[in-house]
Chain A
């Protein structure tokens, strides 16, 4: 795993904008950063792919473990959501994608967290870095089959969803563009779709069901919106009561993608449960829910934290912390990972899964050890 500096394409802003990445810069600094790239060996890509598949198997086992041992309280999952989580875990309604964030220093691969519910940076990983490779290194390769796998997954799901498949977002530009790209992949699979803002989702008081912008019931709804946020809102209970059961659409009920069982994996408590199940596993870091125990080098993460918010790093006598809206916890404590750092650039790998299968890689860089939503996306090749 090596980092190389390179001169960006002279018109890179225009190029990536024309490919759909309108948020290529944030506050005048590149978010899409092609002044560098990361090179992997094919052996390293094989290792990362195998590690992702292995971690996915472990997360499936962890889901069974949580249900069998009733660990919901430790994960701070609302009691009202438990029947729906159990039901969807058993019925396996449509689920699409996720992204594991991995630390890799060229030697050890460690799971940092699993963004299983609302992952973004998808356009950069699936499209923009692929076209960058064609422009700059057309004879090289990239770990990236995201687009094909998304289309293939929608084709599989076509008989399990009810068009028009609605894609909901909260109005943020990145989220709007992410669901727009996902709509393109569904469209390529022959599934008609529509977009809606979360705030525009309606509750039909006469028929007791969710509706779109007008009065058409929402049969299948993809939401780029966290389950834990959704459940705490005025319509949260309606979502639980009206949720479709089984794995096919049900008249008058809504089928949600990602399904509510993804709360088990998007929660940082998963890290402690995995460590309990697989102590000293080479792909895991020590993790606990009650305290850092005997760790002197560790990271404190909010169970429901997002985008690097409210992360505290304790490294012996040194410490580092980010701010955010999750300051009240609850927390998970995870051992400090060996993250690759070159010339002051810390790199975290986002390993994508479609339909539970490894599907591609995105590299994010930061000037400090915590990756936040505004930190740079840097292309890769092998």
Chain B
């Protein structure tokens, strides 16, 4: 019932070998007052006001104020517990 003999699966094979890597723009996780925090603070999805600032500026230490940038919140999905296909 299938016409082709070969099934091209480059992405699948890369993923199966664990070789798929993502890349992201520079970002800082900040609290509601734009104070720099670890990424885990933003990814938890539980801290009110936590968000990422993209292309913002700071001294690079936790607690520093980050100025400028573009505000993105993350961690608002993905709490289903894993294995959500069926």
CA distance A20 to B23 in the complex (A): 23
A202 & B10 in contact (Cβ 8 Å cutoff)? no
A147 & B77 in contact (Cβ 8 Å cutoff)? no
B84 & A118 in contact (Cβ 8 Å cutoff)? yes
Contact size range, B: 35 or more
Within 8 A of A (CB), among B22-68: 22-25, 27, 43, 45, 51-52, 54
A175 & B15 in contact (Cβ 8 Å cutoff)? no
B85 & A19 in contact (Cβ 8 Å cutoff)? no
CB distance from A261 to the nearest CB of B (A): 18
CA distance A41 to B58 in the complex (A): 69
Q: Which A residues are in CB contact (< 8 Å) with B77?
A: 168, 198-199, 201, 225, 230, 233-235
Q: Chain A's interface: helix, strand, loop or mixed, by majority?
A: mixed
> Considering only CB atoms and an 8 Å cut-off, how many residues of chain A contact the other chain?
70
Among candidates A203, A211, A224, residue contacting B85 with C-beta atoms closer than 8 Å: A224
CB distance from B49 to the nearest CB of A (A): 10
Q: Which among B11, B27, B83, B86 has the highest number of chain A CB atoms within 10 Å?
A: B86
Within 8 A of B (CB), among A199-232: 199-206, 211, 213-215, 224-226, 229-230
CA distance A213 to B84 in the complex (A): 21
B82 & A147 in contact (Cβ 8 Å cutoff)? no
CA distance A131 to B43 in the complex (A): 40
Beyond A226-B84, A233-B79, A325-B81, whether A213 also contacts B2 by CB under 8 A is no
A187 & B11 in contact (Cβ 8 Å cutoff)? yes
Among candidates A20, A172, A236, residue contacting B83 with C-beta atoms closer than 8 Å: A172
CA distance A187 to B11 in the complex (A): 9
Q: Which A residues are in CB contact (< 8 Å) with B51?
A: 205
B78 & A215 in contact (Cβ 8 Å cutoff)? no
A20 & B13 in contact (Cβ 8 Å cutoff)? yes
Whether A247 is near chain B, meaning CB under 8 Å from some CB there, is: no
Q: Which A residues are in CB contact (< 8 Å) with B78?
A: 170-171, 197-201, 225, 233
Contact with B along A120-137 (1 / 0, CB 8 A): 100100110011001000
Total contacts A to B, CB within 8 angstroms?
Answer: 170
A205 & B72 in contact (Cβ 8 Å cutoff)? yes
Whether A44 is near chain B, meaning CB under 8 Å from some CB there, is: no
Q: Which A residues are in CB contact (< 8 Å) with B27?
A: 214
Whether A144 is near chain B, meaning CB under 8 Å from some CB there, is: yes
B13 & A175 in contact (Cβ 8 Å cutoff)? no
Q: Which residue of chain A is the closest to B78 with respect to CB atoms?
A: A199
A21 & B16 in contact (Cβ 8 Å cutoff)? yes
CB distance from A263 to the nearest CB of B (A): 14
Beyond A233-B77, A238-B76, whether A17 also contacts B16 by CB under 8 A is yes
B7 & A180 in contact (Cβ 8 Å cutoff)? no
Q: Which A residues are in CB contact (< 8 Å) with B86?
A: 115, 118-120, 306-307, 373
Beyond A144-B1, A229-B80, A234-B76, whether A180 also contacts B70 by CB under 8 A is no
CA distance A235 to B12 in the complex (A): 29
Among candidates A131, A142, A170, A183, residue contacting B1 with C-beta atoms closer than 8 Å: A142
Among candidates B11, B14, B16, B73, residue contacting A202 with C-beta atoms closer than 8 Å: B73
Whether A181 is near chain B, meaning CB under 8 Å from some CB there, is: yes
Whether A184 is near chain B, meaning CB under 8 Å from some CB there, is: yes
CB distance from B24 to the nearest CB of A (A): 4
Contact with B along A186-204 (1 / 0, CB 8 A): 0110000101111111111
CB distance from A357 to the nearest CB of B (A): 13
Q: Which B residues are in CB contact (< 8 Å) with A168?
A: 77
A211 & B83 in contact (Cβ 8 Å cutoff)? no
The 6 sampled A-B contact pairs (Cβ below 8 Å) are: A168-B77, A170-B82, A171-B82, A175-B83, A199-B43, A215-B54
B contact set with A: CB distance below 8 Å: 1-5, 7-16, 20, 22-25, 27, 43, 45, 51-52, 54, 70-86
